[in-house]
Amino acid sequence: MARQFYAWKQYQPSETAAIIFAVIFGLLLIAHVFQAARARIWYTWPLILSTAIEFVGYVLREWCIKNPHVMAPYIISQVFIILAPACLAANLYMFVGRAMLYVGPGYSIVRPSWITPTFVTLDVVSIATQGMGSAFLFGSETSLDKLKRGRMILILGLFIQLVAFTVFLFFAIWFDRKTTVTLRNRVARLRPLMNSFYISGALILLRSIYRAIEFITVDFTKRPATGYLFNVEWTYYVLDALPITLSILIYNILFPANYLPKNKKETMAQENDQDEVKMDETPA
């Protein structure tokens, strides 16, 4: 007779917390869809997707608390909550990449047109790796080999995300410092966008480090699996749900379309040329 699946072995999960975060992510999703539609922009779609994935993940988490013997929704919930921040990171690459294109190629270590495709590709690899590892990890409770394999794959995906984001952060800081020193007030409109990137990026890094440590320290040879971060729920919400909530919320407050041109082909040089033409045409 097959062993019956049971989702919650480490602790008694909080249904109230799951409901609260499902509602929060639902409201953030509605707000971002509304803001993007009103501004008529499409480049925030990874942010919207990330928020939607978090929303579905916590809705399923709440449902699984009431139905702990159903395996598929539990796996989907865990995979979605793990993957969502990677989608959010992809949009951060796009935001800063568009800012670099807007200012011009002379203020970045690498060609600005390479930034978004390179780091989004790394992010896709990270997402695929984390998704594969999560599926193994949360769907193979009876196979120690699959649990260990899933953990290693998931940790690899998290480290790809961490390394890629750290390198990108170096590029962003270089760009920010050089433009601030060289262009001064001419790039003042980008300051809120860069500040939101630093805050959101720090929160995503915090969450990714927490997840990496959680899965590195868990011991699957015991039943149920042991490991402090794996066996308590408060860290799950304080070091994962809350940081990602704040990293999404900041882009509701500092909406990227308020600081970036609608068309990524628009540049600061073109705007300056237009301003000079208008000044020349002004009657003396």
**Cα three-residue angle 15-49-23, rounded to 5 degrees:** 30
pLDDT band at 245 (very low <50, low <70, confident <90, very high): very high
Q: What is the percent of the chain where pLDDT is above 90?
A: 64
3-class DSSP state of 227: coil
Task: Tell me whether residue 45 is in a domain.
Answer: no
In a domain, 15, yes or no: no
pLDDT number for residue 275: 47
Residue 279 has a pLDDT of 44
Residue 127 sits in which domain range?
84-262
pLDDT tens by residue, 156-185? 999 999 999 999 999 999 999 999 989 888
SS3 content of the chain, % helix, strand, coil (to 5): 80, 0, 20
Tokens of 271: 């705007």
pLDDT score for 186 = 86
Looking at the domain assignment, is residue 2 inside a domain? no
Residue 20 resides in a domain: no
pLDDT band of residue 125 (cuts 50, 70, 90) is very high
Residue 277 lies in a domain: no
Q: How many CB atoms lie within 10 A of CB 34?
A: 11
How many domains does the structure of the chain reveal?
A: 1
The answer as to whether 137 is a domain residue is: yes
User: Which range has highest mean pLDDT (101-110, 120-129, 223-232)?
Assistant: 120-129
pTM: 0.89
The answer to the question of residue 75 being in a domain is no
